[in-house]
Amino acid sequence: MSITAGRVIPCKAAVAWEAGKPLVIEQVEVAPPKAMEVRIKIKYTSLCHTDLYYWEAKGHTPLFPRIFGHEAAGIVESMGEGVTDLQVGDHVLPVFTGECKECAHCKSEESNMCDLLRINTDRGVMLNDGKSRFSINGNPINHFLGTSTFSEYTVVHVGCLVKIDPLAPLDKACILSCGISTGLGATLNVAKPKKGSTVAIFGLGAVGLSAAEGARIAGAARIIGVDMNPKRFEEARRFGITEFVNPKDHNKPVQEVIAEMTNGGVDRSVECTGNANVMISAFESVHDGWGVAVLVGVPSKDAVFMTKPINFLNERTLKGTFFGNYKPRTDLPSVVDMYMRKELEVEKFITHRVTFSEINKAFDYMIKGEGLRCVISMEE
């Protein structure tokens, strides 16, 4: 056991006190893990758009003060009762969704949507006792997505921790715990393009480019990027994108443009914007008879998807995916292994690096649309 096991650990954390206000580096106290929980030392974390969205608190109930962060890599410091498959010193990725391995979803080969540990953006406490493990002067600080990685130490349910190859560099592997794996899995696990096929990627942010990376790995011959920001096109070439379509450059629906480019439509499409109209375009851009469209982006809860039923009768398939259909504990180690074998190129997603004290710079980069992923080193 570590010398700090069973003790409260004082450490630094970036606390969001109000919606949209800069995070403040505070001294917090992190309680020991309880049953089925693990306390880990975060080494590197990165900023995902989901953190930004809930920090801005637009369109949902705000929950503050809160410690955000969910894309990260760390090392196990101590474990609570009942944790048997991790040891002190193990290298782990905390994940916003989990795998209890006991529920119907976890036991199904067709689902990764764990009943117990599925994403919950409204919960600011631990499942074990409904209390926070973070406090300042005795006052609790809310958790985020069960991970709260903008802290030097955090407590996570064991079902949301992925043990990875200790040789994998944590400053790279950290970005595999959310967005990159989501896009990659959407292509490799759900769209499943065949070698030599044609794939359209709608939305060329980090998730869309990781979907393109999946198409590249699968051996797609043509990868068409669709985005209204032409500044993204040149960068996207590094991720396998071979052609570009800007819907604003055409006076007809983009699905018609793609159909003309591809003799009837693409074999596969992956939608990564969350815009319902773009989802419709992604579906209607696939070829009849065998085309498959995969929805990755998360729409507003009131969004409506409308298309003609004949599109389904003509044997186009529409699928959705959650976290790229990866079961975190079972499948993510293999994604890290892909990186270690140099099949998956992770480094090109990392466009900025900052120290923990500069964490607000990461928010600035994302708000301005600069870069893909900013990795934050917890050690100055």
Coil vs helix vs strand at 101: coil
Cβ–Cβ under 8 Å, residues 214 and 186? yes
- Tens of pLDDT, residue by residue over 99-139, are 999 999 999 999 999 999 999 999 999 999 999 999 999 99
- What string of DSSP letters covers 299-352? --TT------THHHHTT-EEEE-SGGG--HHHHHHHHHHHHHTTSS--GGGEEE
End-to-end alpha carbon distance in the chain: 26
- For residues 297-313, average pLDDT: 92
Nearest to 227 by CA among 244, 207, 240, 252: 244
Q: Which amino acid is present at 127? A: L
Tell me the per-residue pLDDT of 331-354, one tens digit each, with 9 for 90 and over: 999 999 999 999 999 999 999 999
Label residue 302 by pLDDT band (50, 70, 90): confident
User: For tokens 């959310």, what's the residue?
Assistant: 178
Residue-level pLDDT at 59: 65
Mean per-residue pLDDT, 235-261: 96
The identity of residue 240, as a single letter, is G
pTM score, whole prediction: 0.95
| Residue 199: both structure tokens together | 């794939």
**Block residue for tokens 């391995």:** 101
Asked whether the predicted pLDDT for residue 307 surpasses 70, the reply is yes
Catalytic residues: 48-50, 70-71, 100, 103, 106, 114, 118, 178, 373
What rounded mean pLDDT belongs to the chain?
96
How far apart CA 283 and CA 294 sit, in angstroms, is 8
Q: Which position has the token pair 């209390």?
A: 131
Residues paired with 338 in a beta bridge: none
Of 63-67, 114-118, 299-303, minimum mean pLDDT range: 299-303
Distance CA 39, CA 303 (A): 39
